[in-house]
Chains A and B, each alone.
Chain A
């Protein structure tokens, strides 16, 4: 025993190991509890974020040029495909406008100010992405000064991509829905069925092999069919109702046949972003 305590190096190693695990546990616990990181942490992140934004600007510019060149090659085929859909789109847009007005008027009549479907958008540029595999974070150039709050949902071009997990003054971190086992990706969603009785559930995991979101522990899948749309249900947290998540790919029973899992093909490519939109729900958190 005396030999052990006289071995200085061993004691130093032990102290470092204990301190490391203490540091990791403390930082995880504190970051989960707090809405915003500690002041000194924020100052550091904001300073690095501003420099990072400056560095990312030309790189994102080059990437956009690359994307534009790729788009240019697909223009002819895309144009033909879009032309067939444009008449339908104009009609849907007009109908959507009328319905919105009608909805607004009806809400006024019943003195309903804001509901779960009301939200506004905040655009942000992606300045970086975490190199750590199990922390698939995007760092965006908008923070609490722009009105961003922890747990706000984030969408890309066509669908939901994740949720804000840390807010600094001028930048924030977004955890992607594809992050394995992340506690932050439990989005409440519903499958829009034809009969109107939507099947509700929670996105519980992400299937990395098939690149699909999994709606777990669904008790009834009657009427759920491949290709049906999945949207957020607006229950819990800061997520509004009606954000497009993806489409139903297939249904799988669990090993005991009691509950089912609905596999959802994400609406957007989770590997490639330069600009994202943070969604701020108008109705207050419950």
Chain B
């Protein structure tokens, strides 16, 4: 039987959790038709959720998590888009920002949700701005806010509410 208390096992579980979240983002988007309606485009962001919760608990500010997020960002861009520089920037930058502010954020549901909410908003706005820069996204800001930003924040907040307590328990043990 695997000794789950060992650091290696914890590391394996951590990487496994990140990979599951990686695939869930695309799978849930593909499987749930409601997330793809023209007026309700919700983008599940489980990987960002887990990275935010992990970095909020990473008291020693380890470099390991930063490199993991950078590699995952490159893979995420490679697999889901083919434009490098979207999640390759979002994931590591999220970690760097949270490492700076984590001492001011208590480990409570409401503060962690607020952090995730702000990070998610910034990430989606960044993606939108890059879309405009490449002339691929609609330039109508109202359409972006109503059809993409708002549904994404709503759906991901809902996922946060559902997953927070089990994830917090798991991550407290892992990190």
Mutual binders A and B: yes
Interface residues, chain A, CB within 8 Å of chain B? 16, 20-21, 23-24, 26-28, 31, 37, 41, 44-45, 48-49, 51-52, 55-56, 59-60, 63, 126-139, 165-166, 173, 178, 180-182, 208-209, 211, 269-273
6 closest A-B pairs by beta carbon, nearest first, are: A128-B26, A129-B30, A24-B85, A131-B43, A134-B137, A134-B131
Is the beta-carbon distance between A24 and B134 smaller than 8 angstroms?
Answer: yes
Which residue of chain B lies nearest to A48 when distances are taken between CB atoms in the complex?
B79
A24 touches B38 (CB 8 A): no
Which label, helix, strand, loop or mixed, suits the secondary structure of the A interface? mixed
- The answer on a CB contact under 8 Å between A126 and B137 is no
Other-chain residue from A24, A51, A135, A178 in contact with B23 (beta carbon distance below 8 A): A51
Is the CB of B17 closer than 8 A to any CB of chain A?
no
Q: Apart from A21-B85, A128-B80, A134-B131, what 7 extra A-B contacts exist at CB < 8 Å?
A: A128-B27, A129-B26, A132-B86, A133-B131, A134-B138, A208-B138, A208-B143
In angstroms, how far is the closest chain B Cβ from the Cβ of A122?
19
Q: Are A182 and B89 in contact (CB under 8 A)?
A: no
- Are the CB atoms of B80 and A137 closer together than 8 Å? yes
Most buried by B among A129, A132, A165: A132
Q: Does residue B14 face the partner (Cβ distance < 8 Å to A)? A: no
Query: B81 and A137: CB pair below 8 A?
Result: yes
Most buried by A among B36, B82, B89, B148: B82
Give the residue of A45, A51, A130 whose beta carbon is less than 8 angstroms from that of B29.
Answer: A130
| Docked-complex contact A132 and B43, CB < 8 angstroms | yes
Q: Which residues of B contact A45 (CB under 8 A)?
A: 78-79
Taken together as a complex, chains A and B put the C-alpha atoms of A208 and B86 apart, in Å, by: 24
A-B CB contact pairs (8 Å), 27 listed: A21-B85, A21-B133, A23-B84, A27-B77, A37-B82, A41-B78, A41-B82, A45-B79, A48-B79, A51-B19, A59-B27, A128-B29, A128-B79, A131-B43, A131-B44, A131-B80, A132-B131, A133-B43, A135-B83, A137-B81, A139-B26, A173-B82, A181-B136, A208-B38, A208-B138, A271-B34, A271-B37
